[in-house]
Structure 1
Amino acid sequence: MATTKATPKPKINLLGFEQGEYKGAPSTLCPGCGHDSISSRIVSVCFELGVQPYQVAKFSGIGCSSKTPAYFLGRSHGFNSVHGRMPSVATGAIVTNRNLIGLAVSGDGDTGSIGMGQFKHLVRRNVPMVYIVENNGVYGLTKGQFSATADIGQKLKYAGLNELPPIDLCAEAIIGGATFVARSFAGDPRQVEALMKAALSHRGLAVLDIISPCVTFNNHEDSTKSYAYGKEHEERLHDMTFIRAQEEITVDYEEGEAIPVKMHDGSTIVLKKLENEYDPTNRVAALSRLDAARENQEFITGLIYVNQNNNRTIHDLLHMDEQPLSQLSDEQLRPSKEALESVLADLY
C-alpha cells in the first residue's frame, strides 16, 4: 500500500511567526540585482531574531536602493523621504519614539552625494539604528551615471571613464565618530546575515556598507543588437526598457582570504575578508586598513570598527526620559505657565 509523505510544517520563530510574514511586496528591481539579496537577508535575520515587525521603522530616500524597503517587513512602519534627506527624518522618528527599531536603507548616491551632510550628522549624533548602504557605484534610476563611490578608471556604458577619486563611506563613518562600521558583499549571505545580527544588537548607530553590483548598466556589447546601439538608433514611441535576466553573483570564502569576483560586464573586483585576528576596536588601525585596501584596490569585508566604550546615544545626549515622547500625555508635554515664564525670564 502506497504511503504519502506528510507535508512538513512551516518553521516558526519565537513569536510564532512564519518567515513569510516578514516579507513585503514583490520586487520590481532588475532580475539578479544584489539589492534583492539584501532584502532577503533582512527578512531572514528579522525572522531568526524574532523581531516584532510593528516595532520596526523603515526609512529610505531616493534611488533603486530606496525602493527596497517595500520588499521586506510589510507589516512594519515606513517612511520614504526625499533624496538625501532620510537621516533627518529617521533622527526625528527615533528621538520621538526610542522603542522603535530603526532600519534605514540608502544608496551610494543617496548617502555619498546629496545626502553626505545629513549622513555625517546622523553619525556624530549616534542615533541608535541600523543604516545600510546598498553600494553599486552608479545612479541606476537615472540611467547609470557614476556615483561618488565609483573607482578611478571605472568605465560605464553611458558615462564613459571616471577620473574622480571615490568616497569611502566606511572611512567617512569612522572619521565622523560611528561606533559600528562594517562592509560586506551582497552575494555573501552568511557574512551579511552575521553583520546584520550584530548591527541590530548594537547600542548606537550601526553602518553597513554592502557592495551590491548593478546588472543593468554593465552591458558593453558592440553589436547592432546591443542595448547601446538600439538606444542610439531607435525612434521612441514609449519610454520603456527591457532588461535581460542575469544570474546573481554569489561568493563563499574564508576569513583572511582574498578572491577576485567577476562582474556582469567582465570587470573584476577583489574581496578580502578580514582575518580572525583583526582587532575592530582600534580606530586608527581601521582607518589604516581601509587606506591600504584602497591602495591595493581591494574591498575588505567584515566588521571594520566597533566602539564598545562609547555607548552614549542621542537619547543620552539630550537627557531624555526612558518613556518615549510619543507615549507622553499632553499634560506631560505641555509646559506650565510658570515654567514658560521661568524660561522667558532667563532669556532676558
Structure 2
Amino acid sequence: MHRFMMEFLVVSHNLWLVAASLVVALVAGFTGLTLTQDLSQRTVRQRKLAIALASLALGGGIWSMHFVAMLGLQLPIPFYYDAAVTLASALVAILIVSVALTLLHFVKRTPASIVGAGALVAVGILVMHYLGMAGLELCRAVYTPGGILLAVLAALVLCVAAFWVAYGNRRPRNILLGTLCFGVAVFAVHFVAIAGTRFVELPSFSEIGPVMSNEFLAIGVILASFVIFSSFLWVGVTFIVPTSAAASSTVEEAPPPVQLATREVAQPKIAEVVRVPCEKSGEKVFLPLSDVNFIRADGHYTQVYTDKDRLFCVWSVTEARKRLEPSGFLQVHRSYLINPGKVSTFVRRKDAGRCRFTSGNLPDVPVSRSKLKAVEVALGTEPA
C-alpha cells in the first residue's frame, strides 16, 4: 500500500484554462485596486463599504484564479474537492486581504505599512493555495521544501511590489502597474507552488464536508468570475471616465452654466518663510508655498500636490487651513485647499465649480456650493 501511495501521478495542464486563470487574476486586481482609489475623499462609512467590496474582489479573485487553474489540472485519475475546505479557503483569502486594505486605509500610510499590507496579501495567497490543495479528494498533494520556499519568496516579492507600486503613488498609471504585479503574483505563486508539488492517488475519500466534482466546482468558479467581471466593467467605466468628467457630463445636461471663466491668475505673494513639511521617499522635505498647487485631506492627514509630485503631510486639513490661509491659500471644499496663483481655469456649473491648474497632470479640484462666492472673489471673476 505504501508503494502504491508514493507512486507519483503524471500531471499536465489545459493551456486555455491556464490563460483564463491569468485573466481572472488581472481583472480581480484591477477591480480591487480601483475600488480603493480616492477613499480619503469619502466618508468613513463609504470607505468601509469600498474596502469590503475590494476585499471580495481581491480575495475572491485569488480563489477564482486558483480554481480556474485547478480545473485545467489534468491527472490520469478522477479527483474531487471537499466543499467545506474549498469554501474555507475562499473566506481566508477574503479576510486576510480585508486586514491588509484596512491597514492601508485606516492607519497612517507609510513605507512600512505598504510593505506590511503586501506581505499580508502574500500570506493570504499562500494560505488560500495550500488550504485549497488540502481539499483534494482521491489524490493527495506532496510538497517539496524547495517548492514551498520558492512559492513563499514569489508571493512576498511580487505582492509587496504590487502594493508598493499601487499605493506609493495613487495615480491611474500606478494602479494599472499594480494590477499587473498583483495578477502576476497570484498567477506565479500558484504555478511555482504546483511546479514543486507531486500528486499521489488515495484509495478512499476523507472528506470533512460534501464532495464536489470538477463540474460542480466549475459552476461555482463561473459564478464567482461572473461577479468579478461584472464589477470590473463597473469600475472600468469609473476608471476610464474620471469622476470629474462624469460630473461635468451630468451637469451639462442641466440648463446652461452660470459662468465659465478661463483666465491666467497672477502669482500672489506668498511668504517663503512658511513651508509645508512633507515626506518623500522616507525623508522629510519642506516645500515652499509657491510650489504647492493644492492640498487634499487624507483621513487625519493630507496630501500635497505640486506640479510633479504628490506628497504626504502630517497636517490635518484643519491645521493646513489655519496655517496657510494667512498666506493666501483658500479652502474651496471641506477636503481641499488651493493656491489661487496656480489656478489657470475656473469652471462654474450651476451650484458647483471646479478649479484647474497650470500643470496638466493634476486632477481638477471641486468647489463646494458654499465656497463659490469666495473663490470667484479670490480669482477676480466677481467683485468683492
- TM-score when normalising by structure 2: 0.21
Q: Decide which structure has the larger Cα Rg and report it.
A: 2
Between Structure 1 and Structure 2, which shows a larger proportion of helix residues?
2
- TM-score when normalising by structure 1: 0.22
